[in-house]
Chains A and B, each alone.
Chain A
Amino acid sequence: MEPTPFQLGLQSVLFGILALVAVAGALVTITRRHPLPAALSLVVSFIGLAGLYALLSAPLLAILQILVYAGAIMALVIFVIMLLNVQESDLPVNENVGKSVALALAAITPVLLIFLAILGKLPNDQTLANTPVPADFGTIEVLGKFLYTNYLFAFESVAVLLTVALVGVVILAKRRI
């Protein structure tokens, strides 16, 4: 089913907005002094990313991003920030945020440029339009089947990893006896 020009245009606009949200959110995150607004801004960035995933025919991942990443992980982060009751006095004293971030960005620019150069070398003739994927690409059934057959070992290992993390956190948080 050929997408209509309207659909194509909509795609581009959506992409633009979502990309902007993601990048802007990230920028705001790294430029806050207090961690709480930074975390909240990061949640916004994640939502933008989830949208991008959806655009890329990865519906399951989009939902997982919001549920797990934005929902669970960031919730945990915010919880810890509030637990520690981070006040202004706790923040590092001599941090001149704007200057250091600008400096870092300047230092990292070469890396970005290398990325872009590599990007330039990649073949650019495939668009979303002319690389059709099956309708059920990235859905939960297909992804699940793929995960449990080809990547079973990885899946089980990650399960073990989570268990280990759980045990580790308990040990770390426990009071000294």
Chain B
Amino acid sequence: MEHTSPLIGLIPLFPLLTAALIGLMTLFFAHKGQGAPKGLVSTLAVAGPLASFLVSCVLFFQLRALPEAERALTQTVFPWIHVGPLQIDVSFLLDPLSAMMILMVTGIGTLIHLYSVGYMSHDRGFSRYFAYLNLFMFSMLVLVLGSSLPLMFVGWEGVGLCSYLLIGFWFSDIAKANAGNKAFIANRVGDFGFLLGMFFIFFFLLNNGGTASLDFAAMKGQAALFTPFAATVAALLLFVGAMGKSAQVPLHVWLADAMAGPTPVSALIHAATMVTAGVYMVARMGFMFAISPSAGLVVASIGALTAIFAATIAIAQSDIKKVLAYSTVSQLGYMFIGVGLGAYFENIVAGAGAAIFAVGMFHVFTHAFFKALLFLGSGSVIHACHEEQDIWKMGGLKAKMPITWATMGIGTLAIAGIPPLAGFFSKEAILTNAFIAGHYQTWLYGIYAIALVTSGLTAFYMFRMFFLTFHGKPRDQHIHDHAHESPLIMTFPLMALALGTVVVGFLNVPKVLSFGFLPTDLFATWLEPSLKVAEHGEAHMFHPTATTDFILMAVAIGISLVGIGFAYARYAKPTPATEPTKALWWEILWDKYYVDEMIQAIVIEPILKLSGFLRKGVDEDGLDYVVNNTPKAYAGLSNAVRVIQTGLVRSYAYLMVLGMFAILLYYYLHLAK
């Protein structure tokens, strides 16, 4: 039975309204040469996401009250495009998956808005910032709530736009403006794949006897029409879009540069929400990925590659935000390993995929908490150090900023996968499933190995950053003297997120760790109605024994501890003044494997040359030449013909004779006899 609710539309509406109001106020006051009143702007700005969060909670409980098989609320706002076979409405779908996402987005979003009031309090663009940030919330909520691919794409593009606006927020610095460009363009490349995927699905359904619709429910219902090959094509094209949005190799290049924006932006957009849109989309379209035998493995492989690639770069970075940026890329890789394996498992054992999709989404959820925490904490540090971001100029801040130190410590432990924090549970689940996958195809043990090594590297570089920032002797005395703890409006969200990081992990306790009293797999159970592709059949996934489970966990925790130990030995105890490692490979890592330079040489330079050629060779020499010289040619022709006009009667008479001759010739040639 279909359930509708008129409340769903309010969720994206509130931030849209506040964004519009703040935007208009900004323009109005800008005309007068001043900024909008900060009190009013901050109240509106926080109220928007907060209202959405409250409505989300209400709807969450409404959803819980429904029986599991019917757990979906829809609302059709208005019909949008009705052209022939293409029928798209603006309608929202609230099912367990999107409910989880909107709670995460609005909840963490509200905290970050609150934090931003403190962080941006001295900035001239205060109200413009909040207009953009609320607009972003609107787009992200449309993306998550959209019931069809086109509507999701509207949100997709919207978040890309807001990302551009916010990364290039301080656009008077040309480097920051370029960073915004880079993000948007890299996203656009991915979006091209997304569009092609949509077109493919539409026309495939149109030509193979189905109802050509891009609505999620409609597509899922017609999944049987898709051949494995068609499903692979559709899935991989859509995944290209996900690669762009979620910064997978090789479209990862924009995320590090995106750190040019204000730190709360990095926390919200590039940690908790926008970059997870790709994972969300793969989970939504899980049924498509599951039909294809290889798409899931491609996703998981790219995820694994990205994870270790980014982790190696992170260990050499010296900018606190860049370390976090690359760690985000790396963790996103983990999420894709999760959902990719989910598709693969569903392909080989019907009904087994839903739980593994949930594992990937669980990492999205936990990561949102601790990554937002880490970014906001780094923002607090940067603020205290007067906009200094180089960790080699920090040190010994523990005494000066205890709250920040404690909360960031919790975040760093979480990302390193230390129990009982959230990161441990989600990462552990992914590692275990990678190990299980190896049972089915031996090379998949490679993904497990990569994930494990990356885990160790993650612990290492995160603690490197932590120790260099907070421990040891200060490297720049001036900065150390002026450092101070941030105001409550900034530390409150830190504490709230830290609390979340501690608690949230227990939402998905695996059976082996329940110790008889903890509720298990709450998260996966909640998400199952959305992520389920097929009913459980006869077969079941291979599951290692409890002993193996414990061994795997011990190995994972062990490798994290090893990483932490290394970091401690190198960066905490000795308190180095500069980076101790000087080898060539360190340089390569610091230069991010020269990917940007390669793209510049392989992609950008040829395009620029082509543009130059088109401008000069085709446009100037070719078209302009023709346009300018056609009149000249005509003039020349005229001049040549003008000779006939002699003004002499005799020459005209001669021409008449010639004409007469021509006519006679014609008649001669056509005489019948």
Contacts and interface: CB of A to CB of B under 8 A. Distances in A.
Interface of A: 107-108, 110-111, 114-115, 117-118, 121-123
22 contacts: A107-B654, A108-B657, A110-B661, A111-B657, A111-B660, A111-B661, A111-B664, A114-B661, A114-B664, A114-B665, A114-B668, A115-B664, A117-B668, A118-B664, A118-B667, A118-B668, A118-B671, A121-B668, A121-B671, A121-B673, A122-B673, A123-B673
A165 B388 CA distance: 108
B398 to A, nearest CB: 113
Contacts of A123: 673
A167 B378 CA distance: 111
A117 B664 CA distance: 10
Nearest to A115: B664
Interface of B is mostly: helix
With most chain A CB atoms within 10 A of its CB, the pick from B661, B664, B667 is: B664
Contacts of A118: 664, 667-668, 671
A115 B660 CA distance: 11
Contacts of B664: 111, 114-115, 118
Contacts of B660: 111
Contacts of B661: 110-111, 114
Nearest to A108: B657
B310 to A, nearest CB: 90
A53 to B, nearest CB: 25
Contacts of B657: 108, 111
Contacts of B654: 107
Interface string B626-665: 0000000000000000000000000000100100110011
Nearest to B673: A121
Given A111-B664, A115-B664, A118-B667, 14 more contacts: A107-B654, A108-B657, A110-B661, A111-B657, A111-B660, A111-B661, A114-B661, A114-B664, A117-B668, A118-B664, A118-B668, A118-B671, A121-B668, A121-B673
A120 to B, nearest CB: 10
Interface in B560-586: none
A150 to B, nearest CB: 27
A116 to B, nearest CB: 10
B187 to A, nearest CB: 78
Query: Top 3 closest A-B pairs, CB basis?
Result: A114-B664, A121-B671, A121-B673
A97 to B, nearest CB: 15
Nearest to B665: A114
Nearest to B660: A111
Contacts of A108: 657
Nearest to A104: B654
Contacts of A114: 661, 664-665, 668
A108 B660 CA distance: 11
A76 B104 CA distance: 117
B209 to A, nearest CB: 73
Contacts of B668: 114, 117-118, 121
B654 to A, nearest CB: 8
A121 B660 CA distance: 19
A75 B660 CA distance: 31
A35 to B, nearest CB: 17
A122 B664 CA distance: 14
A104 to B, nearest CB: 9
Interface in B47-69: none
